[in-house]
Amino acid sequence: MKIIKTALISVSDKKNLKPLLNSLKKNNIKIISSGGTFKEIKKLRFKCLEVSEFTNSPEILEGRVKTLHPKIHAGILNKRKNKTHLKDLKNNNFENIDLVIVNFYPFEETLKKTKNHKKIIENIDVGGPTMVRSAAKNYRDVTVITASDQYKELIEELNKNKGSTSLEFRERLSRIAFTETAYYDSVISDYFNKKNDVIFPKKKVFHSNLVETPRYGENPHQQSAIYSKNNSMKINQIHGKQLSYNNYNDIFSALTISKSLPKNKGTVIVKHANPCGVSINSDHLMSYKLALTCDPISAFGGIVSCNFKISKNLAIELHKLFLEVIIANGFDKDALKLLKKKKNLRLIDATNYSFKEILRFISSNEELLVQTEDLKKFSNKDFKVVSKKKPSPKQMKNLIFAFNICRYVKSNAIVLASNETTAGIGSGQPSRLDSCQIAIDKMKKFMSTNDDVVAASDAFFPFVDGIEKLVQSGVTAVIQPSGSIRDKEIITFANETDTILVFSKTRHFRH
């Protein structure tokens, strides 16, 4: 146990100070403080010694230097049972500081409020993190508090131990303190990297906040957690049981597709992180029905993501099918009332969810594979018609729609589409021919359309057999990336069969 006689308080977040100060007063703990914190403590009518008086050194450089003083850091860092340390303190007339209560300048919040570089720089805390690191290093003798939500714990600890703290308590808070300084520095590092357009620096530091710990991971014997760079995610669960690891994986897959679709249009149905039906029909109810028709069997127990607000009429249809999760840009009052009748159905409001500056991660052991997310918006200029037969505007829309969905299907990927609705999806096969066959089989099993069917492939056809299989099934137009040594053979086949062939200037795998 270590008794606390002197505390140093320097906080940007001045909430909940009064109960803390009452506890310190009750335990006869001397308080040292500076700047706005000193003024706040005096305003609350508690005794406090200003740092400049304690160090006999004035604040300088407009407050940039106030706690960066040997008397402060020697008081924190000295080992209480080390004779050399004790001698140094005595020779310099320094005294112990047993409790450090610090939270930092709001750098992260400042970034949300302004782009003014000078203001941002002035909100980089130096003295605060330095004191916290000193106290955390010397946890055997010093207690460190880094957030206002720890005040209650400290008060309880002081009450329980008559003004002292236990080693276990101090060590736990030390661990949290080092995490706080690391997090704070990582936000600053991230800011400077972004400011200088550096995506992959030599050393990469990530910062994130724990949002939730699902019951288990992909399987019951695995542990899992979800973190966010914000204090919370931009999706809001408004009903249903707790989301699982697999739910989150499917939700992110669904949202990646939904948010790539035109504003206020599109229904996406996802199963096991793969789309099994997508439609951007302008009628919201019809877009759901068309997406469901693509593969109603796979949709059972899946996730539906609507890139619009769900009405009561659509909710009636959704209510008929067993689904794990429904995502939307809001729900009408009556729609919500109906869908909430299913106790376990998770309802997610993703109105505020958007993609920007996204990095995609894959981890294995101690390695981390990182890339920028594939968020490219497609237009006609991204493609080149290479066949003699040219697509109509309607066919070109269908081709681009199919190609956009195809990039979110696990490779090897084939997507068949008609009227901006998926007609068949073949995913995750080692053989592109197998993906073609799966997509064709799905189309023949579930879809009945007299309209043109187009096909998209996420990579070039290395041989004629793939495109040949598609054409034989009734496909009239194909879109694929170029780059095969047999591109000319593919073009020749398309011309011989009166098939429209469009090459993408970019490739879009999703492994």
Q: How far apart are the first and last CA of the chain?
A: 55
State phi, psi for 468 to the nearest 5 degrees. Answer: -60, -45
pLDDT for the residue numbered 450: 65
Q: What distance in Å separates the CA atoms of residue 236 and residue 348, rounded to the nearest whole number?
A: 6
- Whether 292 and 268 have beta carbons less than 8 Å apart is answered as no
Q: What distance in Å separates the CA atoms of residue 249 and residue 253, rounded to the nearest whole number?
A: 6
Give the domain CATH number at 73.
3.40.50.1380
- Considering the domain architecture, whether residues 172 and 257 belong to the same structural domain is answered as no
pLDDT for the residue numbered 59: 83
Question: Could you read off the pLDDT of 175-229 as tens digits, one per residue?
Answer: 999 999 999 999 999 999 999 999 889 998 888 989 899 989 999 999 999 998 8
Question: Could you read off the pLDDT of 9-29 as tens digits, one per residue?
Answer: 999 999 899 999 999 999 999
How far apart, in Å, are the Cα atoms of 93 and each of 66, 82, 87, 89, 374?
19, 16, 10, 6, 62
Q: What distance in Å separates the CA atoms of residue 25 and residue 22, rounded to the nearest whole number?
A: 5
Q: pLDDT tier at 485 (50, 70, 90 boundaries)?
A: confident
What percent of the chain lies above the pLDDT cut of 70?
A: 99
Q: Which residues contact 229 (CB under 8 A, 6 or more apart)?
A: 207, 208, 209
Domain termination site, one of 134, 169, 195: 195
- Whether 433 and 465 have beta carbons less than 8 Å apart is answered as yes
Q: pLDDT tier at 472 (50, 70, 90 boundaries)?
A: very high
* 459 has pLDDT over 90: no
The position carrying tokens 């610090």 is 102
- Considering the domain architecture, whether residues 336 and 422 belong to the same structural domain is answered as no
When pLDDT is averaged across residues 60-67 and rounded to a whole number, the result is 84
Q: What distance in Å separates the CA atoms of residue 269 and residue 274, rounded to the nearest whole number?
A: 8
Give the domain CATH number at 490.
3.40.140.20
Q: Cβ-count burial of 389 within 10 angstroms (0-12 exposed, 13-18 middle, 19+ buried)? A: middle
Q: What distance in Å separates the CA atoms of residue 415 and residue 439, rounded to the nearest whole number?
A: 7
Q: What distance in Å separates the CA atoms of residue 306 and residue 457, rounded to the nearest whole number?
A: 25
Look at residue 240 and tell me if it is in a domain.
yes
Q: Are strands 209-212 and 226-228 parallel, antiparallel or unpaired?
A: antiparallel
Question: Could you read off the pLDDT of 131-178 as tens digits, one per residue?
Answer: 999 999 999 999 999 999 999 999 999 999 999 999 999 999 999 999
At position 422, the amino acid (one-letter code) is T
- Considering the domain architecture, whether residues 305 and 179 belong to the same structural domain is answered as no
How does DSSP assign 226-241, residue by residue? EEESSSS-S-EEEESS
Give the other-Cβ count within 10 Å of 70's Cβ.
13
Name the helix (H) or strand (E) containing 167: helix 167-195
Q: What distance in Å separates the CA atoms of residue 55 and residue 97, rounded to the nearest whole number?
A: 12
- Three-state secondary structure of 288-313: HHHHHHHCHHHHCCCEEEECCCECHH
Q: What distance in Å separates the CA atoms of residue 509 and residue 483, rounded to the nearest whole number?
A: 14
- Considering the domain architecture, whether residues 63 and 163 belong to the same structural domain is answered as yes
The mean pLDDT value of the chain amounts to 92
Max Cα-Cα span within the chain: 97
* 449 has pLDDT over 80: no
Q: pLDDT tier at 462 (50, 70, 90 boundaries)?
A: confident
Q: What angle do CA 391, 392, 396 make, to 5 degrees?
A: 65
Closest CA to 405 of 233, 270, 298: 270
Domain termination site, one of 349, 372, 405: 349
Look at residue 357 and tell me if it is in a domain.
no
Question: Could you read off the pLDDT of 339-370 as tens digits, one per residue?
Answer: 999 999 999 999 998 887 678 888 888 888 88
pLDDT for the residue numbered 357: 65
Sign of CA dihedral 470, 475, 480, 486: positive
Question: Could you read off the pLDDT of 276-286 as tens digits, one per residue?
Answer: 999 999 999 99
The position carrying tokens 């880094």 is 146
The upper half-sphere exposure of residue 300, i.e. CA atoms within 13 Å in the direction of its Cβ, equals 2
- Considering the domain architecture, whether residues 313 and 392 belong to the same structural domain is answered as no
Look at residue 464 and tell me if it is in a domain.
yes
Domain termination site, one of 143, 174, 195: 195
Closest CA to 480 of 412, 428, 431, 421: 412
Q: Dihedral (C-alpha) 17, 23, 24, 25: value to the nearest 10 degrees?
A: 110
Look at residue 244 and tell me if it is in a domain.
yes
When pLDDT is averaged across residues 49-76 and rounded to a whole number, the result is 89
Look at residue 210 and tell me if it is in a domain.
no
The position carrying tokens 């008397």 is 71
The position carrying tokens 């062939």 is 501
Look at residue 365 and tell me if it is in a domain.
no
Q: Which domain, by its residues, includes 500?
A: 380-504
The upper half-sphere exposure of residue 249, i.e. CA atoms within 13 Å in the direction of its Cβ, equals 15
- Considering the domain architecture, whether residues 127 and 65 belong to the same structural domain is answered as yes
- Considering the domain architecture, whether residues 147 and 294 belong to the same structural domain is answered as no
- Considering the domain architecture, whether residues 497 and 402 belong to the same structural domain is answered as yes
- Considering the domain architecture, whether residues 160 and 296 belong to the same structural domain is answered as no
Give catalytic residues, as residue numbers. 137, 272
- The pTM assigned to this predicted structure is 0.85
What percent of the chain lies above the pLDDT cut of 90?
A: 77
When pLDDT is averaged across residues 483-489 and rounded to a whole number, the result is 86
Domain count of the fold of the chain: 3
- Considering the domain architecture, whether residues 339 and 460 belong to the same structural domain is answered as no
pLDDT for the residue numbered 464: 86
Look at residue 223 and tell me if it is in a domain.
no
- Considering the domain architecture, whether residues 61 and 173 belong to the same structural domain is answered as yes
pLDDT for the residue numbered 325: 97
Tokens of 169: 């308590």
Sign of CA dihedral 497, 498, 504, 505: positive
How does DSSP assign 444-502, residue by residue? HHH----S-EEEEESS--SSHHHHHHHHHTTEEEEEEE---TTHHHHHHHHHHTT-EEE
Look at residue 113 and tell me if it is in a domain.
yes
Helix, strand or coil for residue 366? coil
- Considering the domain architecture, whether residues 131 and 237 belong to the same structural domain is answered as no
Say which DSSP state 380 is in. G
